[in-house]
Amino acid sequence: MTDDEKQKVLLEYPCRWVFKIIGPDAEAMKCAVAEIIRDKEYKLSLSRSSKTAKYYSLNVELSVDCEETRLALYDTLKSHRAVKLVL
């Protein structure tokens, strides 16, 4: 078994997926999610804020129909200026 095969995520699609996004402005991140995930139903919730409220994390839960869609959403969220980190 190669390293790539060991690291490959085995999921059955469609499935529910939760992205955790982190950034300095919760409202800007909410707008980013609405902008990126226009045509899908999703649930957005505040996960937590840092002790000094410098950073916020939001959970974005939605149904994804294939790995390509999941990875494309990850890349698009990650590249948005309002988002510092995607988990």
- Could you tell me which residues are beta bridge partners of residue 49? 56
pLDDT at 10: 84
CATH code linked to domain 11-86 = 3.30.70.260
What is the distance between the alpha carbons of residues 40 and 14, in angstroms, rounded to a whole number? 13
34 pLDDT exceeds 70?
yes
Q: How confident is the model at residue 74 (pLDDT cuts 50, 70, 90)?
A: very high
- Angle (CA) 40-7-83 rounded to 5° is 45
49 pLDDT exceeds 90?
no
pLDDT tens string 50-68 = 888 899 999 999 999 999 9
76 pLDDT exceeds 80?
yes
